[in-house]
A and B are shown apart, each in its own frame.
Chain A
């Protein structure tokens, strides 16, 4: 693309934009790291049910990708991220986060280990500035390769069967958080990862082959109930799975201006991804101190009475709304679980201890009905997160239908 063309369109097309057009019943778009992506393609509910009951295809090409290579790439990533990269074997993927000196999250992503000294880090937003600043003193080369790979996330109970039918038969023994390369008919990288909590794969190809992959998936996929989906349906699935969405459930600490609007890795419940036993990493001192003292807030899952999702509602410790304890970051009515669910950031003691010991929570709920706001205090209670575990997510080999 010439430089001029690059600036003509404020948001870029992905390699799948043209291919998606015939499927689009509505023109609902959202920007995603400089690309225009579909929020809804036909109907959010139908797309959601395709994801949970059959197979969904979601365009993940705008995922920002960094190729990280060098003699000290492992040491560098170990310093940058909170997980122990030394334990990540080639051929595997890990979910990881990175934090600033206060232990406050900057972003999360998935790290693919290609070889001893070679990695690709996938993340939602551009981070090159932070990555380069972190690279001082390390023999490492970091390159943004976002446009070099187009990606489709194939998620749902029939996703394995579909890929098997396409000829990727060796995926049978691929476990969650592993990736594999295929070379026929073109190079394809497949990882068993996703943002849905369901059985699913993410497939990466060079943009030149993107449409061939698309056509094969769509043609063969007809028998497997395949359906392209937009980010609205994906968002429902990810809340059910308890995954955090950047800019929704947490703010990049580099982007917040006000005190306490950023979040520590521990209070987001990401302690599982922090390895204190490894050498120094960005934020270690602060996180160690926080672990010692205990977090003052926490991100929890709650269930609310009624059926209306309580987007952004404030939470109280009493039904009169006297003591504010936090707010809801993400909310949905879960069609699969038939529960009114939300992720919420709350003060202690609501986030500590077991779910059963958590005092009741009251949701200050506003509903706009026929041009009038109706306010009610809804009862809510803390529940386990993720809200549901799909056993097929981990099954090896996955079911063929």
Chain B
């Protein structure tokens, strides 16, 4: 019998939207994805920034994406955008790491984070032991953190036993890690990463690399409270390969990356899988508003004027866009509007894409540039100073950034034989520099290129084209409030029970049938698809009438 029910409409074809679409389509739901841009992918999308050079728009590494989700969604497991060039590059990278093994061994992926160092780090015996100890500590918290992050947070006010049971399970998980470990967790989880790392480690460069990861996406520096939580968050979800045991600290360069999924391949696979399952995908169709009647969703209206009827709308766009722009404050309570307005979501991250026309020169220390994620932050002070600068609307004098070379793994992003693409994430930058991006942009590029030149001599001469995407550009291009990569800062007061804001923590909204499924929701930013997955599960479990939040305090 043909279904008379209207399809589930998903606003936003980013990775969370696609994950939700695939999950629901697999279970037999009719799904329609509406994307404003000409292509799906959102911040995981790509663009040709110069003729013959394609680079990721924003996300350029997939350390948080789990194989489990790949299997669950029926995506190709063995993802091998293999070319002969890529494999030869990788072997070059691994040989260089083995050849320099010993005293000047490069430090790869400390604490299971996907962080590599472009410079040669010499770790003291003390630091080596301390890293091992920290890794052990983090491993003990792993089950708790994973449990917290992979599932929706339980409600703190609900009297339902299922919610209380969930809370109790979290508490027990923490407690079984041991008394000392529990105390240590509660001691450090709200503290700052500067102090925590300095308590354990000596090498400033090592600390800076880890602290960079801990502050990514936020506007507070390594001395800000709550930055340890960010570190734990990334470490907990990280799928970075670790050869010797699941969560052992890796003191080697990562293994050959040929089987590693790229962002580009992931977006492609998600798109193809959705189409294969019969998901309708409308691109180039910006949504003007989500139509609400009598407190319930009735559909969406596109910019072109077309109205699509729906009982259930999954907003896979950031929460401010979903509720303040598309639904509108007239349908919401002032308290919620106030909380949403105060949700901090000004982007602190810019993207620089560089086209290298002929070759990719090696690092100054002689090693070849591999496919990993290299973090350039030499000291904690440099990192903290960069955050100081953005407070005053300035460009950091020594910017901190990370880069990957997508063309190492995937040769199809360049059209010339020896050409390469460098994808640089500059963090932190301020959303609106005082000088304006038209002046601040070139200055920032200049400083980043100078820093890159010191690490990779000869790189500047190879750059044939460059493109900078400021947070403002990302806001207009990807329709993300503030152009924030994580759809809102991920720091303790905007995480877990409070993400995105008090009251909206379980994907439900006060509008019946409207579900939130973006990085604005728990567990937050990063390409892991968990927000989309959890929202889709909820939609599948409940009848449309039950997809609404009960009034506060009532």
A286-B553, A289-B551 known; A101-B330 Cβ under 8 A: no
Q: How far is the CA of A290 from the CA of B553 in the complex (A)?
A: 10
Q: Which of B499-554 contact A (CB under 8 A)?
A: 510, 550-554
Q: Is A65's beta carbon under 8 Å from chain B?
A: no
CB contacts (< 8 Å) of B334 on chain A: these are 80, 100-101, 130, 133-134, 282
- Report whether A285 and B551 are in contact in the complex, using a CB–CB cutoff of 8 Å: yes
Q: Is A280's beta carbon under 8 Å from chain B?
A: yes
Which of B329, B333, B341, B550 is in CB contact (< 8 Å) with A283? B333
Q: How far is the CB of B196 from chain A (nearest CB, A)?
A: 33
Q: How far is the CA of A282 from the CA of B333 in the complex (A)?
A: 5
CB contacts (< 8 Å) of A103 on chain B: these are 551, 553-554
CB contacts (< 8 Å) of A134 on chain B: these are 329, 334, 337
- Report whether B554 and A79 are in contact in the complex, using a CB–CB cutoff of 8 Å: no
Q: How far is the CA of A279 from the CA of B328 in the complex (A)?
A: 13
Q: Is A137's beta carbon under 8 Å from chain B?
A: yes
- Report whether B330 and A79 are in contact in the complex, using a CB–CB cutoff of 8 Å: yes
CB contacts (< 8 Å) of B332 on chain A: these are 280
A75, A280, A286 pick with most chain B CB within 10 angstroms: A280
Number of interface residues of B (CB under 8 A): 20
Chain B, residues 308-345, CB within 8 Å of chain A (1/0): the string is 00000000000000001000111111111110010000
- Report whether B551 and A101 are in contact in the complex, using a CB–CB cutoff of 8 Å: yes
CB contacts (< 8 Å) of A283 on chain B: these are 333
Q: How far is the CB of A158 from chain B (nearest CB, A)?
A: 43
- Report whether B338 and A289 are in contact in the complex, using a CB–CB cutoff of 8 Å: no
Q: How far is the CB of A79 from chain B (nearest CB, A)?
A: 6
- Report whether B551 and A137 are in contact in the complex, using a CB–CB cutoff of 8 Å: no
CB contacts (< 8 Å) of B336 on chain A: these are 101
Which of B295, B324, B329, B330 is in CB contact (< 8 Å) with A285? B295
Q: Is A136's beta carbon under 8 Å from chain B?
A: yes
CB contacts (< 8 Å) of B341 on chain A: these are 133, 136
CB contacts (< 8 Å) of A137 on chain B: these are 324, 328-330, 337
A134-B334, A279-B330 known; A102-B553 Cβ under 8 A: yes
Query: Can you name the residue of chain A whose Cβ is closest to the Cβ of B336?
Result: A101
Q: How far is the CA of A100 from the CA of B339 in the complex (A)?
A: 13
Q: How far is the CB of B457 from chain A (nearest CB, A)?
A: 53
CB contacts (< 8 Å) of B295 on chain A: these are 280, 284-285
Which of B328, B335, B554 is in CB contact (< 8 Å) with A289? B554
Query: Can you name the residue of chain A whose Cβ is closest to the Cβ of B510?
Result: A285
CB contacts (< 8 Å) of B328 on chain A: these are 137
Instruction: List the 10 shortest-distance A-B pairs measured between CB atoms, nearest first.
Output: A102-B553, A101-B333, A286-B551, A137-B329, A101-B335, A286-B554, A134-B334, A136-B329, A285-B551, A133-B338
Q: A103-B553, A137-B329 are in contact. List 18 more A-B contacts (CB 8 A).
A: A79-B329, A80-B334, A101-B552, A102-B554, A130-B334, A136-B324, A136-B329, A136-B337, A137-B324, A137-B330, A137-B337, A282-B335, A284-B295, A285-B510, A285-B551, A286-B552, A289-B551, A290-B554
Instruction: Give chain B's interface residues, CB within 8 Å of chain A.
Output: 295, 324, 328-338, 341, 510, 550-554
